[in-house]
Amino acid sequence: MKYLANVATLQYAPDKCTGCGRCVEVCPQGVFVLRQKLAAVTDKDLCMECGACAMNCEFGAISVNSGVGCAAALINSMVTGRPPSCGCDSTAAGCCG
Amino acid sequence: MPTMQTLKFVKREVPPFAAGALHTQAGPVYRATSNWSGADYWGMIKSRVSAFRMSYAVPAGLYAVGDPDKDSDVFVSANYKLSFDVLRRSLKGMNAWVLALDTKSINVWCAAGKGTFGTDELVAKIAEAKLDTVVSHRRLILPQLGAVGVNASGVRKKTGFSVSFGPVHARDIPAYVRAGYKKTKEISTIRFSLLDRMVLTPMEINPAMKKFPWIAAGILLIFGLQPSGILFKEAWFNSLPFLVMALLAVFAGAFVTPVLLPFVPFRSFAIKGWIVGMLPVFLSTHVFNTIDRHDTILLIVAYLLFPALSSYLALQFTGATTFTGMSGVKKELKIGLPIYIGTAGISLVLMIVFKLKEWGVV
Ligand code: SF4
Ligand code: SF4
């Protein structure tokens, strides 16, 4: 299943990549693959902006604007002005199963 | 095997899933059985449908599964009991160590997003458990989704332990180990099956149903309001079709849309929910004729309000899915929220006109 097209903020700079493969290991959406010893993005629309790849690329080749993709949290943050946080620790939202 | 009596010096309360303990250089470590008790199953159900999961925790720290030694693998987990239970069950027949981080009883995925399943917590727990004396190797296996919060190179620099991110689901660990700690694409991507979606819906329906009495009260009030006061008998009779449609709209947005997600057209959750929410309105007005079809105002209100309600609820499900990113949800909200608010406003105005007509004012 894919979500909206052309909204993901994932950015990848191949010139910094060393081909270590960490991004392939951590991405839960199969966005990255290794091709000719370099990482390559298969389909950006698959990216759910979890941030695992950017968190674990030692060489700063990846950046992504990660955050909770959860309507309740985002509405909450619009109302309160606080950064969005998932409702895992309140009974408010059904976030994060 | 040491008996429970010999473990009086352990300060922690004995967890119910413990089956004895092991003596290590770092002190005694409880052995967690891989078998689930009735209470474990009951806990799983409760944590799926209610706020019970907020406090469903195991004490953080090191556990043993089977008879691990200095060369055995170390699996890292959250201290959310359901995550921990699934892990110990998945390790059945293996000899391994389990290090449960203190994630405040939140699952790995969510805790990693919040940072409680994070580099610092992992570094701290490795030190507390004196893991470097318990095992002689320097390898850790983390759930893949923990990568959102844990920086593997940071952990190696601070502790000397190198981190491998295992499969997404603990149930795939045996296959991962058998394959020589290699992941297929299959076990390293999140699947979001019908069943996965199904078990998440109670957490969507529950909060929506808590608000339902207010919706119902509003509908009853509007229909029952007369110049002479509130007539309850009339209120009940006239509002019944709307009450049923509201209930169906909640069901459409919070249950049907999530479950049928891939089969409803369009990628936008708001549009998916709107489409599914359209069905009950269409059925009840055009097939079952619950509203007098010449009552144009009521008809318009029904078509405006209930699909929008279903759409709004469907949008809430983005919080539980595994493939919706923040930018996409933001985009949906930017377009959706003004429409929802506008729809509610127009419906209110139309209902006022409806009432004024009913009272013969206009
Ligand atoms: S983690 Fe970074 S350096 Fe390693 S393969 Fe991926 S992009 Fe390249
Ligand atoms: S942000 Fe998450 S889903 Fe997107 S590419 Fe990185 S690891 Fe994959």
Tokens of A15: 């010139």
Decide if domain A11-63 falls under CATH 1.20.58.220: no
- Complex ipTM value: 0.81
On whether both B130 and B247 belong to a single domain, the answer is no
Q: Do A65 and B323 touch (CB under 8 A)?
A: no
Q: What string of DSSP letters covers A13-35? A: -GGG-----HHHHH-TT--EEEE
On whether both B178 and B203 belong to a single domain, the answer is no
Domain range for B21 is: 4-191
Q: Let me know: does B220 contact B242? Beta carbons within 8 Å.
A: no
CB-CB: which of B104, B206, B324 is closest to A3? B324
- Domain locations in chain A as residue ranges: 11-63, 68-97
Boundary-marking domain end, from B147, B168, B191 = B191
On whether both B39 and B184 belong to a single domain, the answer is yes
For B234-278, write each residue's pLDDT tens digit.
777 778 888 989 999 999 988 899 888 888 888 888 899 999 999
Mutate to test the pocket of ligand 2, among A9, A29, A57, A62 (most ligand atoms within 8 A of CB): A29
What's the rounded Cα separation, in Å, for the pair B246 and B251?
9
Boundary-marking domain end, from B157, B191, B225 = B191
Residues whose CB falls within 8 Å of the CB of residue B45, separated by 6 or more in sequence, listed in order: none
On whether both B173 and B217 belong to a single domain, the answer is no
What's the rounded Cα separation, in Å, for the pair B99 and B88?
11
Kindly identify which residue of chain A lies nearest to residue B181, measuring between CA atoms: A25
For B82-128, write each residue's pLDDT tens digit.
889 999 999 999 999 999 999 888 888 778 877 889 999 999 999 99
* pTM over 0.90, yes/no: no
* CA separation, residue B281 to residues B167, B214, B244, B290, B299 (Å): 44, 20, 10, 10, 9
- The verdict on the CB of residue A40 being under 6 Å from ligand 2 is no
> Number of folded domains in chain B?
2
On whether both B94 and B170 belong to a single domain, the answer is yes
User: B44 CB near a chain A CB, below 8 Å?
Assistant: no
Q: Note which residues in 184-203 of chain B have CB less than 8 A from chain A.
A: 185, 188-190, 192, 199-200, 203
On whether both B178 and B281 belong to a single domain, the answer is no
- The verdict on the CB of residue A53 being under 6 Å from ligand 2 is yes
Q: Note which residues in 95-154 of chain B have CB less than 8 A from chain A.
A: 104, 106-107, 109-111, 113-114, 144-145, 147-153
On whether both B61 and B102 belong to a single domain, the answer is yes
Boundary-marking domain end, from B191, B206, B234 = B191
> Contacts of residue B109 in chain A, CB cutoff 8 Å?
96
> How would you write the pLDDT of chain B (362 residues) with one tens digit per residue?
444 444 444 445 778 888 888 888 888 888 888 888 888 888 888 777 766 666 688 889 999 999 999 999 999 999 888 889 999 999 999 999 999 999 888 888 778 877 889 999 999 999 999 999 999 999 999 999 999 999 999 999 999 999 999 999 999 999 999 999 999 988 988 877 777 777 778 877 887 888 888 888 888 888 888 877 777 777 777 788 889 899 999 999 888 998 888 888 888 888 999 999 999 888 888 777 777 666 888 889 999 999 999 999 998 888 777 788 788 888 888 898 999 999 999 999 998 898 888 888 77
Q: Do A69 and B144 touch (CB under 8 A)?
A: no
